[in-house]
Amino acid sequence: MSTAAQLAANLANAQASTGPKSEEGKKRSSLNALKTGLTGRTILMPGDDAQAYQEHVCRFIDEFEPATAREEELVQSLADTRWRLLRIPALEANIYALGQLEFAEKFSIETGPVAAGLIQAHTFLAYQKQFNNLAIQEARLCRRFEKEMAELKQLQAERFDRERRELDEAARLYLAAQQESKPFDPAGFGFECSTEQIERHLKRRAFRMPASNMPKAA
């Protein structure tokens, strides 16, 4: 169980900015963003498990296999956004835990589930602004996640289509070279794929479609 001081610190972290205009207000806003880890550039907070975060990011990289700089940016951002979303339930739980400590005496005449329920309800009312702020941040992060996921899928679909068309053309020239017993260097024709990739592509094509649809030599 966290100490009262730790819970109070977590509650302070749950405060969100309302968009101050003054320089002093902007500084406070920046500090709030740093504390919550839900906004701003800071991802890892004091006490976060850095190893768990790295494993979390690696899972996203393994799943989406980014191949361009923009895809890498999107995958990193998606991982970071998900990490922040996972922090919100812990912040909410910490507020309720703080309420258990702060309002225990208020309902001391009650016992058992009745007391627990009253404390929970009073905590929600007392810290409704903080709960609302967390809900707003969660909705914002979800929108960002969906937008970036859509962009990533679109970019990868376009890249996969380009790669398929390039492999089709490379396979056509490769088969023509084989028929003429000539060596074939993909780089010499401006292709970025290797001969091994072309051969694997031909095998997949042969497995998926009739031989009449195979790339034909010119």
Last residue of a domain, one of 114, 138, 159: 159
Higher-pLDDT residue of 205 and 145 is 145
| Per-residue pLDDT, 67 | 92
Confidence band for 4, pLDDT divided at 50, 70 and 90? very low
Residues 133 and 175 in one domain: no
Residues 115 and 168 in one domain: no
| Per-residue pLDDT, 148 | 97
Residues 182 and 98 in one domain: no
- The C-alpha atoms of residue 215 and residue 206 are separated, in whole angstroms, by 10
Its domain, for residue 40, covers 4-159
| Per-residue pLDDT, 18 | 43
| Per-residue pLDDT, 196 | 87
Residues 146 and 171 in one domain: no
Assigned domain for 12 exists: yes
The pTM of the full predicted model, rounded to 2 decimals, is 0.65
Residues 30 and 93 in one domain: yes
Looking at the predicted structure, is the pLDDT value of residue 120 above 80? yes
- The C-alpha atoms of residue 13 and residue 167 are separated, in whole angstroms, by 52
Assigned domain for 25 exists: yes
- The C-alpha atoms of residue 174 and residue 169 are separated, in whole angstroms, by 9
- The C-alpha atoms of residue 149 and residue 202 are separated, in whole angstroms, by 31
Name the 3-class secondary structure at 163: helix
Residues 28 and 122 in one domain: yes
Residues 181 and 136 in one domain: no
Residues 112 and 137 in one domain: yes
Higher-pLDDT residue of 67 and 217 is 67
Residues 180 and 138 in one domain: no
Residues 184 and 116 in one domain: no
Number of domains in the chain: 2
Looking at the predicted structure, is the pLDDT value of residue 23 above 70? no
Residues 155 and 187 in one domain: no
Assigned domain for 218 exists: no
- The C-alpha atoms of residue 196 and residue 97 are separated, in whole angstroms, by 59
| Per-residue pLDDT, 8 | 53
Residues 108 and 40 in one domain: yes
